Amino acid sequence: MAHASVSFWLSQVLGPGAGAPASPGAGAEAGSASRPSLDGDATADVCIVGAGFTGLWTAYYLKKAQPSLGVTVLEQRFAGYGASGRNGGWLTNSVTGGREQYVASHGRAGAQAMQSAMTASVHEVIRVAEAEGIDADIALGGELNVARNPAQLARLHDWAEGEAGWTDVDAELLDAGQASARIAVDGTLGGLWQPHCARIQPAKLVRGLASVVERLGVELHENTTVAAIEPRAVGRPARAVTARGNVDADVVVRATEGFTARLPGAHRAWVPLNSSLIVTEPLSDAQWDAIGWANRDTLGDLAHVYMYAQRTADGRIAFGGRGVPYHFGSRFDPDGGTPRVTVRSLRDLLVRFFPVLSGVRVADAWSGVLGVPRDWAATVGLARASGLAWAGGYVGTGVTATNLAGRTLADLVLERYSELTTLPWVGHRVRNWEIEPLRYIAVNGLYKAYGMADRAEDRGRTSTSAIARIADWVSGHK
Ligand SMILES: Cc1cc2nc3c(=O)[nH]c(=O)nc-3n(C[C@H](O)[C@H](O)[C@H](O)COP(=O)(O)OP(=O)(O)OC[C@H]3O[C@@H](n4cnc5c(N)ncnc54)[C@H](O)[C@@H]3O)c2cc1C
């Protein structure tokens, strides 16, 4: 199996080898950039750091609202290089970190507003893709999560109960037969299906969006690493500092997600955690007949170390899960190299889900980084005094939330106080992660605990393992 590109999705758009460094040791700024780097000092009304979904949606809505605004985007490698060009392609309405946190902080109405905004954002992304002519293999097939052991089934029932009573969720509890009729996952005991989720090819969306914002007049510079983001100071506005020149702007937006830990002053803000995917060769008609999956639902499970999958437009399965372990000091491989052991364990799980695929070949494998805040809650905001804005910390559910973040940032920057700018995640701040070695011990310890809990549940435990409950409590994410 060759692993030459930073994701299968990007290689479909940019060709084989997309994103691989130009030569060994070429450093961060290399490979696949087609747009000019920053060339000397510049000014802008708004400078956005990072050309993933967050940065590009922000640029899009700013220019749509005010075409005369000067918007510059600075990207260390190329548009879509980060998680946006590598993810599982679930455009889902799931609220990062769960709705309950917002019930606690903003009451039920605040939590409902967040949920409704997420559901609306799924349909907004689909609308814009259509309006702008971006073909991102979008299929609105809903989201199916399956339980494969009794403890998972108990959690599934709790989850279904929790979903009832919220609007814009529309989840349906399925018995084993109904769930298997959608996708024939071996050992399914039940499922929860909800309609507000689309399968997408993420690199097609992010690359399409980059072209659209350029057409709107946004200046997009690739191969331009921002070394520091500085607040407004006496006699000058906020600043993005690069080795190729600085950009001074009324507002500088940090849209760097999993890479944020590399910026000065943000080292402990969001832990960069890896997630990894494999993709199969295209399956035969006979294999698809055995598996079903006619509606293109996205597929997940209720394991603590969960999987996520999609049926691709060209008839493959992309299957993801927990990737490379957390490295001491929040270090990670930006190109997302994926160890054989990770590929093997994802393939083994795929075959456990679909025994008919026992001989299937893995065509590609890759990894990317998520930004994980200490409370697992995403945030968006603008501090007007400093001129610094940010959005991120989406953990594993940013494909839709980035659109909501982009629209919200546009409103904040343009001082349009809307229903978006009062959503509970706006201005949310959380304490930093622990210093090392505590962070290393805690993060890897948590994943060991979740893995142990899954194994105990697979052996027949009928309720959620106590180890997992303690891990949830320690991590603060449930
Ligand atoms: C493997 C994987 C699977 C996932 N699956 C799903 C899924 O199915 N559904 C879902 O909702 N979410 C999923 N996610 C999460 C989702 O992809 C992210 O939340 C989302 O893409 C974040 O977008 P972003 O623009 O904020 O960050 P990114 O896409 O990471 O973009 C940040 C950009 O900033 C650039 N950058 C960073 N630092 C600098 C700097 N100093 N100077 C200049 N540029 C810089 C990076 O190169 C990058 O292009 C997944 C993530 C991963 C890694």
**8 A C-beta contact, residue 57 and residue 403:** yes
The verdict on 118 and 241 lying in the same domain is yes
Look at residue 210 and tell me if it is in a domain: yes
Look at residue 148 and tell me if it is in a domain: no
Residue 84 alpha carbon to ligand 1 centre in Å: 4
Q: Which of 61, 239, 370 to probe ligand 1 with, by most ligand atoms within 8 A of CB? A: 370
The verdict on 276 and 366 lying in the same domain is yes
Q: Is 258 in the pocket of ligand 1 (CB under 6 A)?
A: yes
* CA–CA gap between residue 173 and residue 179 (Å, rounded): 9
Q: What is the pLDDT at residue 246?
A: 98
Look at residue 37 and tell me if it is in a domain: yes
The verdict on 279 and 303 lying in the same domain is yes
Residue 193: partners with Cβ closer than 8 Å, 6 or more residues away: 142, 143, 144, 145, 171, 172, 174, 179, 182, 297
Q: What angle do the packed helices 150-163 and 438-458 form, to 10 degrees?
A: 110
Q: Is 336 in the pocket of ligand 1 (CB under 6 A)?
A: no
Look at residue 151 and tell me if it is in a domain: no
* CA–CA gap between residue 155 and residue 315 (Å, rounded): 31
**8 A C-beta contact, residue 392 and residue 260:** yes
Look at residue 273 and tell me if it is in a domain: yes
The verdict on 342 and 470 lying in the same domain is no
Look at residue 187 and tell me if it is in a domain: no
Look at residue 401 and tell me if it is in a domain: yes
The verdict on 425 and 447 lying in the same domain is no
Q: Is 381 in the pocket of ligand 1 (CB under 6 A)?
A: no
**8 A C-beta contact, residue 413 and residue 292:** no
**Domain range for 446:** 438-475
The verdict on 406 and 312 lying in the same domain is yes
Look at residue 230 and tell me if it is in a domain: yes
Q: Per residue of the chain (478 residues), give pLDDT as tens.
A: 445 579 999 999 998 877 765 544 444 455 577 899 999 999 999 999 999 999 999 999 999 999 999 999 999 999 999 999 999 999 999 999 899 999 999 999 999 999 999 999 999 999 999 999 999 999 999 999 999 999 999 999 999 999 998 999 999 999 999 999 999 999 999 999 999 999 999 999 999 999 999 999 999 999 999 999 999 999 999 999 999 999 999 999 999 999 999 998 888 888 888 999 999 999 999 999 999 999 999 999 999 989 999 999 999 999 999 777 778 777 788 888 899 999 999 999 999 999 999 999 999 999 999 998 988 899 999 999 999 999 999 999 999 999 999 999 999 999 999 999 999 999 998 888 888 887 778 778 887 888 888 888 888 888 887 777 777 766 665 5
The verdict on 378 and 267 lying in the same domain is yes
Q: What is the pLDDT at residue 455?
A: 87
Q: Is 237 in the pocket of ligand 1 (CB under 6 A)?
A: no
Q: Residue with the nearest Cα to atom 33 of ligand 1?
A: 50
The verdict on 462 and 429 lying in the same domain is no
The verdict on 205 and 115 lying in the same domain is yes
**8 A C-beta contact, residue 430 and residue 372:** no
The verdict on 389 and 463 lying in the same domain is no
Domain of 114: which CATH number?
3.50.50.60
pTM of the model: 0.95
Number of domains in the chain: 2
The verdict on 380 and 446 lying in the same domain is no
